[in-house]
Amino acid sequence: MQVATIAFDRFNTLRDDEAQERIRAARARLGNKAVLLCHHYQRADVYQHADLTGDSLKLARLASQTDAEFIVFCGVHFMAEVADIMSKPEQTAILPDLAAGCSMADMANLAKVERCWRELTEVLGRPDEIITPVTYINSAADLKAFCGEHGGIVCTSTNAPTILDWAFTQRDKVLFFPDQHLGRWTGYKKGIPLDEMVVWDPDLEYGGLTPEQIAKAKILLWKGHCSVHQMFQESHIRRWRMQHPDGFVISHPESNLDVCIHSDYVGSTEYILKTITAAPPNTHWLVGTELNLVNRLAEELKPQGKVVQFMAPTVCMCSTMQRIDPQHLAWTLENLADGNVVNAIRVPPHEAELAKVALERMLAVS
Ligand code: 13P
Ligand code: SF4
């Protein structure tokens, strides 16, 4: 029987243990009608309820494979959008707190990307024949749709090298948004000279570039970054290596180029998790990625004598993902169990169709 939607106000003041109890009770009522997908950065008090966990690529695939009526996404907004786009029409993707965005994704928007495309048209002629637009999955659905419409593609931190290869089989140049660091590191690993990877500043005319710079560039890197990963610096690695000469450094490719170059391993959150988990016991690790994941690994691997340390001296969490707390999860699940769908993420059909083209190209290539 459906009852009236419960307002979040009544959950805001719940103690954590009360919220946990209500999450468990609501899940029992929902049974297999709801599946909980959690990104690796999710806080521990929410992560413990996950049915499925992963990085962005794994979660995008899982979202297309689950049959549950409700996909409750404990991550950020763009991830729930991907779940909506990739799931079946009868399924609903839910984001427990609509304010859980991604600051990097917000650094690009359709108006600015379209302006960039117009300016590139003025300089180069027909960009559809010269440039492949590649959007990192950390972007709004309308930007994925832009890529779908213009022969472009989506990439994740796992498959960026493969996707870049594909992009260059299509056209001579790549416009990569919104993360300059992932684009630069991926291009660097392929041997593209740094002066052929130029930064496009969307707040300046022609990205702040001369026609010669645009003509010479292999990759135009959107001026965007992750506020968490920008905290990691090469000096942190240098200092740590002096104290731990036998240790290993592993970083996420959203970190800057110097950090990536000076790391022993670079890869997605799933790669980081698998690499450290599979490493021999008693090894020592410095990790350049979000704190919740690093803390979880440190705790889980302590019994094997592994020491896992966070790269930055300051605390840096994904503060937006952190908004999905037990109170929001309890509120969401209780409403769903009562028959009230709250915080559904619904990408407009035309946009979803084009975004799906770009996402399916990615899944086919990677
Ligand atoms: P992953 O795809 O590696 O999970 O990265 C997503 C992300 O937002 C990292 O900041
Ligand atoms: Fe976005 Fe950075 Fe959070 Fe990843 S860690 S979701 S890039 S703000």
Note the pLDDT tens digit of each residue in 86-123. Answer: 999 999 999 999 999 999 999 999 999 999 999 999 99
**Within a 10 A sphere around the Cβ of 346, how many other Cβ atoms?**
10
Q: Kindly give the number of the ligand 2 atom that is closest to the alpha carbon of 102.
A: 1
Ligand 1 center–CA 352 separation, angstroms: 21
Average pLDDT, the chain: 97
For residues 46 and 38, is the Cβ–Cβ distance under 8 A? yes
Alpha carbon nearest to ligand 2 atom 7, residue: 226
Measured distance between the N- and C-terminal CA atoms of the chain, rounded to whole angstroms: 44
pLDDT score at 357: 98
In this prediction, residue 1 has a pLDDT band, given cuts at 50, 70 and 90, of low
Known binding-site residue numbers for iminosuccinate: 39, 56, 136-138, 157, 252-254, 269
- For the CA of 290, the closest atom of ligand 2 is 5
- Look at residue 2 and tell me whether its pLDDT is greater than 70: no
Query: Counting atoms of ligand 1 from 1, which one is nearest the CA of 57?
Result: 2
Contact 356, 85 (CB under 8 A): yes
Q: What is the pLDDT of residue 64?
A: 87
pLDDT tier for residue 336 given thresholds of 50, 70 and 90:
very high
pLDDT, average across residues 64-79: 96
Radius of gyration of the chain (CA): 21
Q: Is 102 in the pocket of ligand 2 (CB under 6 A)?
A: yes
Strands (E), 23-172: 34-39, 52-54, 70-74, 92-94, 131-136, 153-155
Which helix (H) or strand (E) covers residue 329, if one does?
Answer: helix 326-337
- Please say if the pLDDT value at position 3 is more than 90: no
Ligand 2 neighbour 76 (Cβ under 6 A): yes
Q: What is the pLDDT of residue 56?
A: 92
Distance CA 67, CA 75 (A): 19
Evaluate if residue 127 carries a pLDDT over 90.
Answer: no
Q: How far is it, in rounded angstroms, from Cα 149 to Cα 351?
A: 10
Read off the tokens for 223.
């001026």
- Give the H/E segment covering residue 167: helix 160-170
Q: Is the CB of 137 under 6 A from ligand 2?
A: no
Residue length, the chain?
Answer: 366
**The predicted structure's pLDDT at residue 329:** 98
**Cα–Cα distance between 255 and 179 in angstroms, integer?**
10
Neighbours of 309 (CB within 10 A): 14
Pocket test for ligand 1, best of 38, 56, 319, 324 (most atoms within 8 A of CB): 56
Nearest-atom number in ligand 2 for the CA of 76 is 6
At residue 35, the 3 state secondary structure works out as: strand
Dihedral angle at the C-alpha atoms of 69, 73, 77, 81, nearest 10 degrees? -30
| pLDDT tier at 315, thresholds 50, 70, 90 | confident
What are the tens digits of pLDDT across the range 143-186? 999 999 999 999 999 999 999 999 999 999 999 999 999 999 99
CA atoms lying within 13 Å on the CB side of residue 130 = 16
Helix (H), strand (E) at residue 187? helix 180-189
Q: Which tokens hold the place of 249?
A: 């450094």
The interaxial angle of helices 77-86 and 56-65, nearest 10 deg, is 30
Single out the residue of 88, 57, 52, 58 nearest to residue 73, CA to CA. Answer: 52
pLDDT, mean of residues 188-210: 98
